[in-house]
Every structure is written in C-alpha cells, then in structure tokens.
Structure 1
Amino acid sequence: MSTSGLDDLMGSVDSPLIVVTTSAEGERAGCLVGFHSQASIDPEHYCFWLSKANHTYRVALRSERFAVHFLTDVDRESARHFGSLSGMETDKFAGLDFTVTEDGVPLLADLPNRLIVERIAMLDDGSDHVCLTARVLATETTGGFASLRPSQLGDLTPGHSAEERAIRP
C-alpha cells in the first residue's frame, strides 16, 4: 500500500475545520485545526492534533483546558484569521468578540458551536503534530450546521510551515 496518494485521499474526505483556543499563564493562543475526531462515546473524549510549528502548540504544553470551536460554512474569515496569522507575531484575539472561562480559555463569540475540554494526554509520536486527547466538559451548540471544509479555503496560506516545528524528532 502506497502513501503517495494520501493528499488526494484526504482531499476527497475533506474533513471539517475547527479552531482550538487555550491559554496558559495569561498567554492566549488559538489556531485552525484540520485533524480532529470524537475518540470515545462513554466517557466522552475528543482528540485534536496541533502542529508543532504553531504558537498554540507551545501554549498547549502548559494548558489543561481548551475550547474546540466548530466552523460553519459562513466562517471563512475566522478560518483565515486563525489559520494564516502567527500567534508569535500577533495577538489573534485583538479586535475579536470573545469571553474567557474561569480557567482562562477564550471562547469566540462568532463561533458558538463548541466543546470545552480538559486534556487527558498528549502524544508526540515524532511527527510534525501532537495529539491531545481530552475529556469533554461542556458542549455548546446553536443546532445543526454545515461545516466549513478545507476545499472551501483552497488559497489559505498557513502562518507556519511544518518545517518550522519547535521540536524535531
């Protein structure tokens, strides 16, 4: 079995996009995420993978709580904002409408379909992303929606390339 067609296969799957936000020691972070999934029914667990090149990864190393914001098909600007800016160079939350949980997690007002989660484990298998497994603490939704998918953002340039990861295997 060849992995040379993985990009084509994953492009056909076209998984929904999310924005993950968190904070640690007063430092806020958030990024666009394409790798994520429900990981357990009982207990309720959710996994998401963060790029080691992102500022959010560095903050996540010190974080316990996160918000997983599900993007709808009208949230293209939020996706571009969190996917193309670097948190090391700019405050991604400046000018945005958000609240903060008692644990300091930023909740984006424009993205009300979300999970509030607590990290259980972080797996670094040596690749360019780490997997966070989290326990679902709360769910907030406005009802059914059509998800925003990578094919709808074809021209998005990431804030960092995979080669910029903080830790190389």
Structure 2
Amino acid sequence: MPSSALDTNSAFDRVIEGADGSMWIVTTVADGRRAGCLVGFGTQVSIEPRRFLACLSKQNHTYRVAMPATHLAVHLVGAESMALAQLFGAETGSEMNKFEHCDWLEGPHGLPILTTATGWFIGEILRRDDFGDHVGFLLRPTAAQAPEVEAPALRYRAVSELTPGHQA
C-alpha cells in the first residue's frame, strides 16, 4: 500500500492512465464567440435521465466562453482524427481561430459542429460545479448524431504527449 501522498498520487495517476479514457472535443458559442477544446474529463453520469459531465480547465479559453453559454456540443473523436485532436488540444483559442482550420457547420443554438467527428451531441447546461482546477458542466442531451459505423474512439494514450494550449 502507498505510504505517502506522493505515492498515492502516483498510483492514482497510473490507474487513470491504465483506463485509457475516451477523448472528446467540446465546442460552444456565447456572446458571438466560438470556442472548443480537447477534453479528457468527460463521462456519462446517469442512464435515466441521461446526463453527461464535461469538465473544462479554468485556464482554458473554452472555459471562459462556456461560462455564459447555455449549451455545449460534445464530439466523439475517432482514433484516426489525431490532427483534429492536435488542433483542439495543443492550440489555444486565445491566439487563433481554430474553426478556420477545420470543417464545421453551425448546429442547434448556433453551436459549431465538427463535421469530421465520429458522432456528437448537444447538451443543455443544467449546472456548473467547481472541482478545483476544472469546472464540471452537467449536460442534458437535447440533440445528437450517432456514428454511421462503429469506429474506435481516440484515447488518452494517443494524445498524452500533446502540449496543451493552456496548462491545467
């Protein structure tokens, strides 16, 4: 058993890395500004009613745009979409318009929908919870497009070496 907090933190990190969670791209729009980022902290948290929790770093440009937003778009990223993950994970919307460098359409509520995503859903923001360096956005799905064919999702291990546009 771990004997110190450092050992516990190290062991915890290895357990989470071993899970190799799915990566998501969250996009939003508010006050005429679009934003999006790669998200590793996202998961379904209820079956009925359906609920999803997407957590955004407080240091992230997308977080600042999402705070006054009413909805988020959550995109499932395919394993073959490393360039899209690089764009939304290693660049910052504070310095560039990411949407000038990818294919997207305006979806419900004016949200940017990434056309090369494997699938996506729109979530109404029900609440925001402060979890430390991230804020969780609890979402109620209001629209979705399922993948046409089952494809492997982009996983944490594939993007773990990316340098984030903003540190968490």
Q: Which runs of no fewer than 5 residues in structure 1 stay unpaired?
A: 163-169
Question: How much is the aligned-residue C-alpha RMSD, in angstroms?
Answer: 1.3
Task: Name the amino acid aligned to 1:79.
Answer: A
Match of 1:128 among 101, 124, 133: 133
In 1, Cα distance between the equivalents of 2:21 and 2:134? 17
Is 1:23 equivalent to 2:16 in the alignment?
Answer: no
Normalising by structure 1, we get a TM-score of: 0.91
Count of aligned pairs: 161
Q: How does 1:72-151 map to 2 (within 5 A)?
A: 72-125=78-131, 127-141=132-146, 142-151=148-157
Distance change in 2, residues 1:147/1:42 (3 Å): same
Name the SS of the counterpart of 1:5 in structure 2.
helix
Contact 2:44 2:53 in 1 (8 A): yes
Find out whether 1:59 has 2:65 as its counterpart: yes
Q: CA deviation at 1:154?
A: 3.6
Segment of structure 1 superposing worse, 109-118 or 93-102: 93-102
Once residues 65 and 159 of structure 2 are traced to their aligned partners in structure 1, the CA distance between those partners, rounded to angstroms, is 26
Aligned match for 2:43, one of 37, 45, 49: 37
Q: Give TM-score, length-normalised by structure 2.
A: 0.91
Preserved contact between residue 20 and residue 31 of structure 1 (Cα < 8 Å): yes
The residue identity in structure 2 corresponding to 1:54 is N
Q: Percent same amino acid among aligned pairs?
A: 37
Q: Work out whether residues 26 and 104 of structure 1, in 8 Å CA contact, stay in contact via their aligned partners in 2.
A: no
Kept in 1: contact 2:126–2:140 (CA 8 A): yes
Query: Partner of 2:12 in structure 1?
Result: 6
Q: Which runs of 5+ in 2 are unaligned?
A: 3-7
Higher helix share: 2
